[in-house]
Structure 1
Amino acid sequence: MPSHLPARQLAVVALAGIVAGTLDLVYASTFWGIQLGFTPLQILQSVAAGWLGRDAAYGGGVPAALLGATSHYAIAIAMAMAFFLAARRRPALVLRPAVYGALYGLVLYAAMTYVVVPLSNAGSGQLPAWRWENLSHIAGHMVLVGIPCALGARRALVPSNAP
Structure 2
Amino acid sequence: MKAPARDHTSPTATTWERPAAWAWILLGGLTVGAFDLLFAMLWWAPLGTSPVRIPQSVAAWLIGRDNAFAGGAATALFGAAVHFYLMTAIVAIYHVASRSRPWLQQHPLRNGMLYGALCYVLIHVIAVPMFSAAPPRRFLLDWSVACLLAHMLLVGVPCALFARRWHSAGD
Q: TM-score interval w.r.t. the shorter chain? A: 0.7 to 0.9
**1:25 aligned to 2:33?**
no
Q: Structure 2 length as normaliser, TM-score? A: 0.83
**1:132 aligned to 2:139?**
no
> Hey, what's the Cα distance between the residues in 2 that align with 1:106 and 1:61?
31
Query: 1:52: which partner in 2?
Result: 63
> Hey, what's the Cα distance between the residues in 2 that align with 1:47 and 1:38?
14
> Hey, what's the Cα distance between the residues in 1 that align with 2:92 and 2:32?
12
**1:120 aligned to 2:136?**
no
> Cα offset for 1:134?
2.0
Q: Which has the higher relative contact order, 1 or 2, with Cα contacts under 8 A spaced 6 or more apart?
A: 1
Deviation digits for residues 118-160 of structure 1, max 9, x if unmatched? 1211216x9x636133221111110101111111111221127
Gaps of 5+ in 1: 1-5
> Cα offset for 1:54?
0.1
Query: 2:162: which partner in 1?
Result: 152
Q: Which amino acid aligns with 2:146?
A: S
**1:39 aligned to 2:53?**
no
Query: 1:74: which partner in 2?
Result: 85
**1:13 aligned to 2:25?**
yes
**Does the 8 A contact of 1:12 with 1:155 survive in 2?**
no
**Does the 8 A contact of 1:8 with 1:156 survive in 2?**
no
Q: Which amino acid aligns with 1:156?
A: W
> Hey, what's the Cα distance between the residues in 1 that align with 2:143 and 2:77?
27
> Hey, what's the Cα distance between the residues in 2 that align with 1:27 and 1:93?
26
Q: Which secondary structure state, in structure 2, belongs to the residue aligned with residue 121 of structure 1? A: coil
Greater Cα radius of gyration, structure 1 or 2: 2
Counting aligned pairs with the same residue, the percent is: 37
Q: Which amino acid aligns with 2:133?
A: N
Q: Structure 1 length as normaliser, TM-score? A: 0.87
Moved beyond 6 Å, runs of 4+: none
- Partner residue of 1:108 out of 119, 123, 127: 119
**Does the 8 A contact of 1:23 with 1:144 survive in 2?**
yes
> Hey, what's the Cα distance between the residues in 2 that align with 1:70 and 1:103?
25
Gaps of 5+ in 2: 1-17
Alignment length, in residue pairs?
153
